[in-house]
């Protein structure tokens, strides 16, 4: 199960190159007025990490069947 998840995550990492998420930052509270800012941040996934996840997942698949 872990091997399949690693292979899928590796393929997704190579296909998309990263992911984005939004975090809300509170900037000011003045009485009943609340000001906030939504910041979108992008996290890059290195190519070597995607390839490594695919290789590790493949190794786990092969060695798991031998037992």
Write out pLDDT tens, residues 13-41. Answer: 899 888 899 988 877 878 888 888 888 99
User: Looking at residue 25, what is its pLDDT?
Assistant: 81
The model's pTM: 0.67
Task: Please list, in sequence order, all residues whose beta carbon lies within 8 angstroms of the beta carbon of residue 41, skipping any fewer than 6 positions away.
Answer: 20, 21, 22, 23
Query: Using CA atoms in the order 40, 41, 43, 44, what is the torsion angle rounded to 10 degrees?
Result: 80
């Amino acid at each position: 199960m872990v091997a399949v998840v690693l292979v899928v995550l590796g393929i997704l990492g190579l296909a998309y190159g990263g992911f984005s998420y939004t975090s809300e930052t509170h900037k000011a509270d003045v009485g009943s007025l609340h000001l906030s800012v939504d910041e979108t941040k992008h996290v890059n996934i290195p190519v070597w990490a995607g390839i490594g996840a695919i290789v590790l997942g493949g190794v786990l698949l092969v060695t798991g069947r031998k037992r």
